[in-house]
Structures are given as C-alpha cells and as structure tokens.
Structure 1
Amino acid sequence: MKKPLRYILLGITLLALQQVRSQENNPYRDSVVQLYGVVMTADSLQGIPSCSVIVEGKGRGTVTSYDGVFSIAVLKGDKITFSSVGFKDRSILIPHNLEGNQYSVIQLLVTDTAYLPATILKPRPSREQFERDFVNVKISDDLYETARKNTDEATRRILIRSMPADGREAVNYQLRQQATKAYYSGQVPPMNILNPAAWADFIQAWKRGDFKSKN
C-alpha cells in the first residue's frame, strides 16, 4: 500500500512543478496593467462625465465618473480609445516595455464642432391672415369634382357599408345585440316585415339609391 501512495505523491509533485514552470514561461504573466486617470476638456480642464473608455478589439471598456475619473484593467500593447458626445475621439497605446503594472494618464479631449443647416423661423399667421389665405386659395377643377363626388350622400352610404367597422362600432353593435336579446328574453321578438316604420325606412332608402350597385 505504501508504494502506490508514494507514486501518487510523486505525480502530484511533478504536476505542481509543471504548472509553476508554465506560469514562469507565460509571456502574459506580467502583462496585465491597471490603467487609471482622468479625462478632461482641453480648453477648461473640466472633468468629462460618462466618457467611454474602450479597449480596441477586445469588446470591453468602462465609463468615467462624474468627475471624469476612470480605472480599468488592460494588457501591455492594448489600444485605448476615449470618446464622448461633442468631443473628438482620442486613442493611446499602452507601452509594451512598461515597467510595473500601473499606468496613469490625463487625457484631454478637444471639442468637436458640428455645423447644422440654417433654419428660418417665421411668425405664426394671425387668424385674419389664415382666413384670407384659406378663402383665396385656388383649387383645380379636378380636385373640386373629386371632392364633390366624395361628399355625395349615396357615395358616402356605399362607403359606409363597404368599409369594415372599427373597434368602437363593433363594440357598440355587440352591446346592442346583447341589449336586444335581454329585452326580448322569454318572448318572441317582433317581425319587422309587419312594422310600418321599417317599411317607411326601406322605401326612403330605395329612393335614395342605397341599394344600387357599388360599381
């Protein structure tokens, strides 16, 4: 039992020595750098809050605090880009031969001027000016004829029948159906074929042309 245990301890020792050697030979063992500093405006030296500090090509970064202070872990050789709305982007490169594992920077950003197209502000017309322009506007005969046809009573009735009902009309129709069903509950509903008022409405609709073909 002692010989297998001795082999197990020897294997664990060799494995530990191999891990120590791999760490010593790892080129990234001492490449981690704590980057910290402050981002300020170049003209007034005011801290820029919420400025993006991005490690290019790594998909990670951080933002500055209310005073423009930031801190992030990077690698030697990384490219860091500082960007903020209203300022030009700036980039720095972490030195490969940096001694130690800390790197501080004071980054100044220059204001980026954006020129917008000219905007002309006009006063709101008065009621008299609006009425004058509305009355004097020229309407072509084609548009006037189209408006006249669309306002015809028979055309409007055809449009009402052909267009689908909206939500309000559908709900009102359903409520009327439920009210009628509850009103005539337990009895036979009246037959409109014997209702003189219904016949009068039918005759009036026939005279108006409500039953004409839509085409």
Structure 2
Amino acid sequence: MNKIKVILTNSTLKPYKLVAVALMFCFFTAKDAKAQRKVGNKQIVQFSGVVVGQDSTTGVPGVHIYVPKAGRGTTSNLYGYFSMPTLEGDSVIISAIGFEKILYVVPSNRGENITEFFELQTDTTYLEEVEIFPYPTEKDFKEAVLALRLPSDNISQDNLGAEVLARMAETLPIDGGEAYNNFVNQQFNTAHNRYLYNPNPISTFLNPFAWAELIKSIKRGDFKKKKK
C-alpha cells in the first residue's frame, strides 16, 4: 500500500490549497484500496448463494462449489448457504451426489459482491439392459436343452405310490384348510344334537302337531284329577 504523507503548515498553505490536498489524498487512498481488490487485471468478487433442491424450499447441505482451474472452493452448510472469494470470469462448478452439475461464470459487471440462488435438478441415470444368459449364444442354449437327460420315471412313481401317500397322510399333520373344515363340522354336529335332544320351547309352541296332540290329551281326560 502506497503511503502518502502530507505536511500542512499554516504559513505556507491557504484554505483552497488545503481542500485540493485533501481531495488528492482521498483519490490516491481510494485508488490504492481498489487495487487491493484485484488480482492482476481481474477484480475479486465475493461469490455467495443458496443451493436448494427441486422443491425450491429445502437447502441442500454438502454441495461442492469450486473453481477447477484455480483449485479453490467451499461447501454449502446445513441450510445450503455458501460464500467464497472468486475472480471475474471464473468458471464455478456446483455439484452434489445425485444431482446434475451447474456451471456458473462469475460476471464482471455486478460489483464486488454477488449473491445467487441455485436449484439443483435430480440426476437420473438409466443403465443399459443386461440379459443374464448362461450360454454364449442361443444356439448353444437350445443344444443344451435338447441334450438334457431327465431322471427316470421310476423315481417319481416310487414317491407317488399308494402306500407312500397313505403313510404320508397318517403321519403328516393337517393343514389350515382341514383344521377349518373339522371345526365347522364340530359346530354343526353340536347344534344338530342340541336341537334333537333339547327341543326349543318356542318351536314346540308353534308346532301344529304338538297342538293336535295336546287337544287329544284333553279329550281323553289325561289332565283330570283322579278321585281318591
């Protein structure tokens, strides 16, 4: 930084000259400060922004924001925010796993601070169809099928014999369907026996044959008291 030393004396400088010296001091100081914000001929730009997903509401953390040629960069925080120094014309890559990369070129006409909003798009990769085939060609597969030797029929006949099936039926437990059928049959038999041996009084009262038998009993005098 170039330092400018100004010595003022009341005897040598008049008021208008003091103003001129002060303006020159401010000019050189501002020029020197502006020179500090440049690297070569390029201006330093503080590049900031927020990276969100496709919903445009949720920040994406851990996004890489870097300048490949310069070898510098940063990552977004928990809320998708980042900030890093760049130069005018820098090509900035914004990338994250599962999203498409974004290329951003730092403009040269927007001042020393730039803030942008980036929306990442999901990167969907379609893989080529893969057919798993144990044979190099279809011809070899057909030849292998034609040359296949199936086991003898005697093996299946031995397993499906009448004695074998009867022995299996005796030893194997019943399955769910058979258990359900047994339960239904038991309920039916219980209800049927209860109806036969314990008739319902209401059903007897409504039975016309029971009424006919009652009338016959009255005519015969079955209900008359016997004289002692």
TM-score, length-normalised on structure 2?
A: 0.39
- Flag the structure with larger Rg: 2
Q: Which structure ranks higher in relative contact order (CA pairs < 8 Å, sequence separation ≥ 6)?
A: 1
